[in-house]
């Protein structure tokens, strides 16, 4: 069975819905190609996801001795993290809540057989 290398990012200050748009771009691709795609993607969530992917790739090289050319993004997903509820007051004394959403991103790399 192939080796699985995992890395995760907690409390990314972008909503899970927006992070999934970036994550879906690289699922199933080679790691080197995925890093190239993420470096050219203009979304706010692309930079933290790129750093996470690079970290997972470095972990695979250092800890498991796997070449970066043999790695593929096996699984990558963005889950919801706790939502911060911010206060804002509207007209006539009404309360207008602002929801500051965040997400957890997890990447699993696998060696090509």
Q: Per residue in 4-28, pLDDT tens?
A: 999 999 999 999 999 999 999 999 9
On average, the pLDDT of the chain sits at 94
Instruction: Flag whether pLDDT at 1 surpasses 80.
Output: no
Task: Name 107's bridge partners.
Answer: 7, 76
CATH code where residue 34 lies: 3.90.470.10
Can you give the pLDDT at residue 87?
87
| Interacting residues of 112 by C-beta distance below 8 A, sequence separation 6+ | 30, 70, 71, 72
- Residue 40 — pLDDT band, cuts 50, 70, 90? very high
Residue ranges making up the domain that contains 103: 4-111
CA dihedral over 30, 27, 74, 61, signed as positive or negative: positive
In angstroms, the CA 45 to CA 18 distance is 7
Number of domains in the chain: 1
Measured distance CA(49)–CA(104) in Å, rounded: 10
pTM, two decimals, is 0.90
């Amino acid at each position: 069975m192939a080796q699985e290398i995992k890395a995760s990012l907690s409390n990314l200050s972008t909503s899970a819905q927006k992070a999934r748009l970036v994550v879906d771009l690289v699922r199933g691709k080679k790691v080197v190609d995925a890093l190239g795609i993420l470096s050219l993607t203009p979304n706010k969530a692309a930079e933290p996801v790129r750093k996470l992917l690079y970290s997972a790739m470095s972990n695979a090289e250092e800890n498991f001795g796997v070449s970066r050319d043999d790695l593929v993004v096996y699984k990558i997903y963005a889950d919801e993290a706790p939502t911060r509820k911010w206060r804002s007051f509207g007209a006539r004394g009404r309360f207008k809540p602002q929801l500051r959403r965040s997400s957890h991103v997890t990447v699993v790399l696998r060696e090509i057989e």
